Amino acid sequence: MRSLSIFGATGSVGTSTLDLVRQDRSAWDVKVLTANCSAGELARLAREFDAELAVVADESCLADLREALAGSGIESAGGAAALCDAARTTADITVAAIVGCAGLEPVMAAIEQGNTIALANKEALVSAGEVMTAAVAKYGATLLPVDSEHNAIFQCLAGGKTEDVRWITLTASGGPLRTWSQAELEAATPAQAVAHPNWDMGAKISVDSASMFNKGLELIEAHHLFPVGLDRLRIVVHPQSVIHSMVEYRDGSTLAQLGPSDMKVPIASCLAWPDRMDTPCEPLDLPAIGSLTFEAPDETRFPATRLARHAAMAGGAAPAVLNAANEVAVAAFLAGKIAFTRIAVMVEQTLTDYTPAAPGSLADVMAVDAAAREKASAMLESA
Ligand code: NDP
């Protein structure tokens, strides 16, 4: 039996993880489950999986959580400090599936315990970059990539040497608006942007997929996870989402990882690592898929990957600024306050207006994140 904690248990990645646990309850001891404010749903999951502790990040939702857990014997807590305390609990594996930079502090708390972390929360690594990778080395923690592309690369690199890598190619589906003209993109609605053709995901990452900021964040994530140099990381659009990413070695061999567009596959790869486990996913039916196609990204209609590459090259605080501005812009787009195409404009403007010193600590990263959010939010007010 292995112990497991899930931060962001009520979300898309969290529930996919619990679907895998449900397959074989006797194999898992569920320690901590968390949510932001979905108290009723969190309590239901905590009861089903007999968790030791349930935590809501938003303290104002703790009373509801307590009421929903009454009589269960499951402990409950609320607030940012409680979330970090929970992340310090030792578990064999901690799934980091909170959305956005809100997940950074608990991820760092888990790292400082030397835990094994299955990282879905890419915004945390994008924002904290060097601070996080230095902490992983210092505390002997292990980061396993849940993101399907990074999980694919991780699998393709197994047994290979970094110095033998010629290219790492991240595949991108291109999202639901891939073929739209600039004029159509201007008028894209939140419902259209979240209607991903291949993947069923939370709202924020779905918008990121449509804008290609998801791929931009993933480029920065790959830069930290697989340090082969930015000039060896490239992106190709592959609308079928069958190949999840590729590694080309210097002898001309390219290894690719293929699989269904279901996050249970990369999550299972992390949960069972270094072994394998069953998933309920349908096997790939290549004759039914028929053809796999590839296109170069169009950085005129979708400037996000260009902005992310520049932020990665600039290093220091730039990725944290890019991420924070994107989070503010995506929330504004989902709330109907700005046009879809404003997201990239706001991110670029924030990167131009705000160039803080490189963060040297978690507190520095949080300060950059907060200040960049303020700048981006001010842009919304003046728009
Ligand atoms: P969801 O929006 O579906 O779920 C987010 C989870 O985080 C929920 O449990 C939510 O709780 C919790 N949460 C939200 N805001 C906060 C906060 N401020 N503090 C603490 N907890 C919070 O997101 P996804 O599952 O889609 O994505 C999670 C992460 O995984 C993201 O970083 C995403 O980029 C990454 N990822 C997701 C993939 C996917 O297929 N969904 C694929 C690859 C990566 P509540 O229910 O209370 O709001």
Instruction: Based on the fold, state whether residues 131 and 179 are members of the same structural domain.
Output: no
Query: Is 209 in the same domain as 264?
Result: yes
205 SS3 class:
helix
Q: Is residue 379 part of a domain?
A: no
Handedness of CA 202, 367, 218, 185 (dihedral sign): positive
State the distance from the centre of ligand 1 to the C-alpha of 206, rounded, in angstroms: 11
Point out the domain boundary residue: 126, 145, 164.
145
What H or E segment, with its residue span, contains residue 130?
A: helix 122-139
In a domain, 327, yes or no: no
| Residue 71 tokens, joined | 């009589």
In a domain, 324, yes or no: no
Of 111, 145, 179, the residue at which a domain comes to its end is 145
Q: Alpha carbon of 339 to those of 184, 297, 334, 380, 383: distances in Å?
A: 11, 21, 9, 11, 11
Q: For residue 122, what are the domain limits?
A: 2-145
325 lines ligand 1 (CB under 6 A): no
Q: Ligand 1 within 6 A of 78 CB?
A: no
Residue 58's H or E segment, with its range, is: none
Q: Which of 60, 98, 107, 269 to mutate to test the pocket of ligand 1 (most atoms within 8 A of CB)?
A: 98
Asked if residue 128 and residue 158 are part of one domain, the reply reads no
Query: pLDDT value at position 337?
Result: 97
Residues lower than pLDDT 50 in the chain: none
Q: Is residue 110 part of a domain?
A: yes
DSSP 33: E
C-alpha to C-alpha distances, 100 to 106, 143, 167, 260, 331, nearest whole angstrom = 12, 17, 28, 25, 11
Residue 363 inside a domain? The answer is: no
Asked whether residue 53 falls in the same domain as residue 167, the answer is no
Q: 214: CA distance to ligand 1 center in Å?
A: 14
Number of folded domains in the chain? 2
Residue showing tokens 């993947």: 199
27 and 12 within one domain: yes
Beta carbon of 121 within 6 Å of any ligand 1 atom:
yes
206 and 73 together in one domain: no
Task: Using the mean position of ligand 1's atoms as its centre, give its distance from the Cα of residue 152 in Å.
Answer: 21
Rounded to an integer, what distance in angstroms lies between the CA atom of residue 58 and that of residue 216?
A: 29
Ligand 1 midpoint to CA 201 (Å) = 9
Instruction: Determine the pLDDT at residue 90.
Output: 87
Query: Are 127 and 162 within one domain?
Result: no
The secondary structure element, H or E, covering residue 77 is: strand 75-78
Are residues 87 and 23 both part of a single domain?
A: yes
202 C-beta closer than 6 A to ligand 1: yes
| Cis check: omega of the bond before 274, within 30 degrees of 0 | yes
pLDDT recorded at residue 383: 65
CATH code assigned at 21:
3.40.50.720
Are 158 and 251 within one domain?
yes
Is the CB of residue 205 below 6 angstroms from any atom belonging to ligand 1? Answer: yes
**Count of beta carbons in the 10 Å neighbourhood of residue 360:** 12
| Ligand 1 centre distance from Cα of residue 128 (Å) | 18
On whether both 130 and 248 belong to a single domain, the answer is: no
38 lines ligand 1 (CB under 6 A): yes
DSSP letters spanning 230-282 = GGGEEEEE-TT--EEEEEEETTS-EEEEE--S-THHHHHHHHHTTS-----PP
Residues 3 and 81: their CA atoms lie apart, in Å, by: 22
How many whole angstroms from 6 Cα to the centroid of ligand 1?
Answer: 11
Q: Which of 283, 315, 347 is the last residue of a domain?
A: 315
pTM given for the model: 0.97
